[in-house]
Structure 1
Amino acid sequence: MAALKKPHWITDWKQHAPALGNARLRVGVTGLSRAGKTTFITSLINQLENHQRGLLARRPPFDRLEAVRWQRDGVEQAFAYLDALHALSDNPARWPSSTTDLSRVVIDLRFRQTGLLRRVQPSRSLRIEILDYPGEWLLDLPLLELDYGQWCEQMRDWLELEPRRGLAGPLRDRLLAIDPQAPLDASLLQQLRRDWTDFLQRSRSEAGLSRNQPGRFLLPGSGIAAEMLLFVPLLAGNRHTATGAGSWWAECEARFRYYRDFVVKGFYDEHFSRLDRQILLVDMLSPMDAGQAALSDLKGALEAVLQSFRYGRNSLWRRFWQPRISRLAVCATKVDQVSAEQQRAVQQCLEDLLTDSLSDVRHGGVEVRGFPLAAVRATRQEGDALVAGLQGQTGWVRYQPGSIPTHLPLDLQVDGPELLELRPPPGLHRNEPFPHYRMDELLGWMLEGAAL
């Protein structure tokens, strides 16, 4: 007699069962490149490790927090917390290296129970799981909604506009000149792929643009073979183009599909499909400083990203099978670069940029809250001026920060705040809470309602 096959719903139940209890909270820390994810996660662990010394000690539920353990043994691709601490506590202090690959954070918290529950169970544990990954990968999520022809059309439209048109230069003309039905020239494809990668790098570094696809052309990460990244947009084609085997179109389309269906979708399914809560980190000040084109590109990027996640409360039955994000924290980062009175304005400008997207998220029953944030405060305020150290220099500078509008203009025309390249403050140590803005508020809100 053939062995009975276990019904698939039993397997699904076992996979999702831990999420039904309160012992685990999956928090997605999401942000584009330069948003400060590595510094944020380092500060988050530091604040929890020093919960009795910092602002967390006076904020529920951390006033009942008894013990914290950052897990580094047995965690696959563990977050390099000690390396980040070394950078921040070095002399001179420096910011941790940007994320170049996927890493994981696991933190175990033990809380003291109160009331009648204390007799039955003196303490209760919560495991927080966080995923860290390059912001460039995040920008690939919109590809899940596109076929290759649609992506080529989108790239053609983007390259029509400045500053991308100028940055692409002759590369745009070469991509337009390729006949999609012509036989593939493998050596030319290799060169075009390198040129497209260089174009993406300059779009990010010179123009401050956010939507740079495919993201793994910039940071492939481990386990990605070069053959997976061997395609370019053929600007003369569109969603109706169909050609035979061995053509430019057939080869690039097949590789795009593999990239979308196995690299991007696999990453999404494995890491994002079961998030409970999400923190969205955005460097709003740099695009404001770069100008209208950078702000417009940031808006498009964030709107596409927000549409890619599973938001909303559902019935208990539906959540049992398909968990959804119930809380979204939207955080304008590095707000210590402006005066304390202007920090809320930075946050308001970010929320103005995302008005429609955040309305859609709230309509799905998700709690959304904004936090103007500085994970590690690099400045101190003296009167109307800020005092800070500059990267690569010793000593201190005293300066007047640029002004921020109360609301972001609809045309996205803003006079930039003229940012300085600041270094971390001196004297940071693992056993003391880092100076910050609102990390305690954010952590308290994200854990609120976790039945602790």
Structure 2
Amino acid sequence: MPNNSANWFKQVAQRAEGLGQQRLRVGVTGLSGAGKTTFITSLINQLENHNKGLLSRRAPFDRLESVRWQRDNVERAFPYLESLGALSAQPARWPDSTSDLSRVVIDLRFRPQGLLRKLQSTRQLRLEIIDYPGEWLLDLPLLQLDYGQWCEQMRQWLEAEPRRSLAGPLRDTLLGLDPAAPVDAVQLVDLTEQWRQFLLRCRSEAGLSRNQPARFLQPGSDVAPQMLQFVPLLLANRHSAGEQGSWWAECQARFNYYRDFVVRGFFEQHFRHLDQQVLLVDMLGPMDAGEAALNDLRDAMEAVLASFDYGRSGLLARLLRFRPRIGRLAFCATKVDKVNPAQQRAVQQCLEDLMVDRLADVRHGGVEVRGLPLSAIRATRQEGDALVAGLQGEEGWVRYRPGDIPAHLPQSLQVSSPDLLPLRPPPGLHRSEPFPHYRMDDLIAWLIEGAEP
């Protein structure tokens, strides 16, 4: 009997230790320009310095014993050290935008509490994040389209301004191509490059978000260049068909490969098993660019959110090994240090006004949604009613008053420009000190709280 009791206690202890090993998969989702690389760099920095910054004042970080960012034995590890090097350079500069896939693995070790404290020495949480170019998200809606439907959609987009003007003669050329005619391989390569340049103009000149195919802008290292040679045939539709060797057959085959292997493979491998999601949105940039950019941002974000699986799985579903769905969504307007602290909540409110219908759908599915105006690294300081900051590419400091942000976004989406400035990182950033920020501690604590360490 004593032996049985000892074995039973050993089994309980082993089971308790197993319960102490937990994994939290967080999807950090954001379109290009939202500051995703800077956000991840700051997140690692805040955790590494959990005993010095604002995190040290709140649970569960009062029980956090150690943090380890893993760089060894992690395939495509996130370039944390390179990002730190950029931020601490003279002069400081923002980390390079993500150009390919990378992984973040952070191990956190907590002291146990409650009934488990006598059975476990520690409780461990592994935080996993995938970093990727923000443009890649914009391809997720392609999973619901065939090539003919995509051609129809591109024709509609190019009929409206500002895309019509930005496309220029390219639109006329694509309208003049007969889908059933034999493909000209040399012309296809040329048109593909023209389409890529058109997407670049849409992004840089008009601040538009929906630029497809996204890998034309950020191809990554896992796609053969020849598979990125296709264009929308504006005379084609879902009923079109073409013989082998036609414009239709060649472009359709490459579109199907792109959709089924590149886009679907990326989604299936990295997004199907998320526990929580952080959605980063640069709201100030589109507000500065105007009504067309805001409309495009709304349509892009609605399409992206529609691609994810939201809703609580519950304890019973987890025990029965049903596939969990995203149970928590942090919805964050980024770079809010560019406006006065008193107006940061207004930026967040305008973002939520823009996405009100889709957020209502997500909440209705039982998802806990938290809205936070966020600055992963604060580049400004307040002096009276003005802000002081350094400008990219310039020395010294400027003192300026940012434009007003409306309390709510008008239905017309017509707002006065907030007159943004290109700010550089603050000086003196170091890995061993928590970076200045707005609300990173709130967000990190909310994420970890959801994992119940």
TM-score (norm 1): 0.94
Distance, in Å, in 2 between the alignment partners of 1:79 and 1:449 is 24
* Residues 313, 327 of structure 2: 8 Å contact kept: no
Q: Which runs of 5+ in 2 are unaligned?
A: 1-17
The alpha-carbon deviation at position 449 of structure 1 amounts to: 3.3
Q: Does the C-alpha gap of structure 1 residues 188 and 21 become closer, same or farther in structure 2, counting only changes over 3 Å?
A: farther
Aligned to 2:349: 348
Paired residues for 1:150-165 under 5 Å: 150-165=149-164
In the alignment, which residue of structure 2 is the partner of 1:8? Answer: none
Matches of 1:66 and 1:122 in 2, distance apart? 11
Shift of 1:22: 5.8
Q: 1:263 maps to which residue?
A: 262
In structure 1, list runs of 5 or more residues that go unmatched: 1-18
Does 2:413 correspond to 1:407? Answer: no
Deviation at 1:227, TM superposition (A): 1.6
Post-superposition, which runs of at least 4 consecutive aligned residues in structure 1 deviate over 6 A?
none
Q: Secondary structure at the match of 2:269?
A: helix
| 1:159-181 deviation per Cα after TM superposition (whole angstroms, max 9, x unaligned) | 01111000000000000000111
Look up the match of 2:330: 329
Q: Aligned with 1:85: secondary structure? A: helix
Match of residue 198 from structure 1: 197
Q: What's the TM-score, normalizing by structure 2?
A: 0.94
Q: Is the 8 A contact 2:69 2:106 kept in 1?
A: yes
1:173-198 CA-partner distances (Å, limit 9, x unpaired): 00000011111111111100000000
Structure 1 partner of 2:443: 442
1:126 paired to 2:151: no
For residues 407-429 of structure 1, what are the alpha-carbon distances to aligned partners after superposition, in whole Å with 9 as ceiling and x for unaligned?
00111101110100000000000
Q: Does residue 292 in structure 1 map to residue 299 in structure 2?
A: no
Provide Cα deviations, 1:62-120, integer angstroms capped at 9, x if missing partner.
Answer: 11110000000000000000000011011111100000000000000001112332111
CA contact (8 A) 1:22 1:451 kept: no
Cα pair 2:335 2:375 within 8 Å, conserved:
yes
Give the Cα–Cα distance (whole angstroms) in 1 for the partners of residues 182 and 116 of structure 2: 72
Q: Distance in 2 between matches of 1:301 and 1:115?
A: 45
Cα deviation, residue 38, structure 1: 0.5
Residue 308 of structure 2 corresponds to which residue in structure 1? 309
What is the Cα deviation at residue 223 of structure 1? 1.7
Task: Tell me the SS of whatever aligns to 1:109.
Answer: strand
Residue 317 of structure 1 deviates from its aligned partner by: 5.5
Structure 1 counterpart of 2:23: 24
- What SS does structure 2 have at the residue aligned with 1:116? helix
Letter in 1 for 2:410: P
Change (3 A) 1:55 1:194: same
Task: Give the whole-Å Cα distance in 1 for the aligned partners of 2:213 and 2:385.
Answer: 43
Moved more, 240-249 or 251-260: 240-249
In structure 1, the residue matched to 2:227 is 228
Is it true that 1:207 corresponds to 2:170 in the alignment? no
- Shift of the 159–430 alpha-carbon distance from structure 1 to 2, 3 Å rule, reads same
The whole-number CA distance in structure 2 between the counterparts of 1:187 and 1:310 is 42
**Residue type of the alignment partner of 1:435:** P
Q: Which amino acid aligns with 1:390?
A: L
Q: Give the conservation status (yes or no) of the 8 Å contact 2:20–2:120.
A: no
Q: Identify if the C-alpha distance between structure 1 residues 282 and 20 changes in structure 2 by more than 3 Å, giving closer, same or farther.
A: farther
Once the 2 structures are TM-superposed, how far is the Cα of residue 315 of structure 1 from its aligned partner?
A: 5.2
Once residues 436 and 168 of structure 2 are traced to their aligned partners in structure 1, the CA distance between those partners, rounded to angstroms, is 45
Letter in 2 for 1:363: H
